[in-house]
Amino acid sequence: MNYIWYFLIVISIVFGAINGTLNEVANAIFSGTQLAVKIVLTLLGIMTFWLGIMKIAEKSGIVEWLAKILRPVAKWIFPELPKNSPIIGDIAMNFSANALGLANAATPIGIKAMEGMQELNKDKQSASDPMCTLLAMNTAGFQLIPATVIAILAAAGCEKPTEIIFPTLIVTGTAFVSAIIIAKIFKKVFPPQKEGEVINAD
């Protein structure tokens, strides 16, 4: 990626020199860097505020409360796991943290859930169906409030940056549901390999 950006910058300067518009190229570079610094500073302030609010929600028990509500749904999505397994609680906590924008809190919880599922996994060399489903869920990235996008839009001068919330909810919700459905379909199409079974490569 660095080589691509370097190539674009060099080409811009070369063509600017050829066409006699090198001053415009220089002005565009300076104005772009000023806008980048402005966006970073605005993003820093908004993200600091939002992460503080989310930390309060985590400490006050709102995340755990939401996880308890989602626990029955997690059991339905992951029927392979034991009913009273603490892994189900970790999965619900992981989803709740992601939905509220607590990515830093969601990551260790997700890793803990993966480690628990790996202990139950009979084939240690391959990911189990629950592990694949959880990975798909996290990749979909369902969010109730896209704080990062709102912060960038606000820094860029958007008058109504919060209007992105509803469209983002639709998109991430669709991606989330689609990820689970696809994981379930692939589970049927590609059943887990039985112990001792050899796949014919021909």
Residue 10 in domain: no
Q: What is the pLDDT of residue 174?
A: 92
Residue 21 in domain: no
Domain count, the chain: 1
Q: What is the pLDDT of residue 63?
A: 67
Domain membership of residue 37 as a residue range: 28-189
Residue 198 in domain: no
Q: What is the pLDDT of residue 178?
A: 92
Q: What is the pLDDT of residue 102?
A: 66
Residue 88 in domain: yes
Residue 4 in domain: no
User: First CA to last CA across the chain, in angstroms?
Assistant: 38
Residue 18 in domain: no
Q: What is the DSSP string of the chain?
A: -HHHHHHHHHHHHHHHHHHT-HHHHHHHHHHHHHHHHHHHHHHHHHHHHHHHHHHHHHHHTHHHHHHHHHHHHHHHH-TTS-TT-HHHHHHHHHHHHHHTT-HHHHHHHHHHHHHHHHHH-S-TTS--HHHHHHHHHHHHT--SS-HHHHHHHHHTT-S-GGGGHHHHHHHHHHHHHHHHHHHHHHHHHSPPPPTT------
Q: What is the pLDDT of residue 201?
A: 40
Q: What token pair was written down for 4?
A: 């691509």
pLDDT along the chain (202 residues), means of 10: 82 83 82 80 71 73 74 83 80 79 74 89 84 87 76 77 86 90 84 50 41
In 3D, which of 132, 116, 106, 150 has the Cα closest to residue 190?
132
Q: What is the pLDDT of residue 191?
A: 66
Residue 3 in domain: no
Residue 17 in domain: no
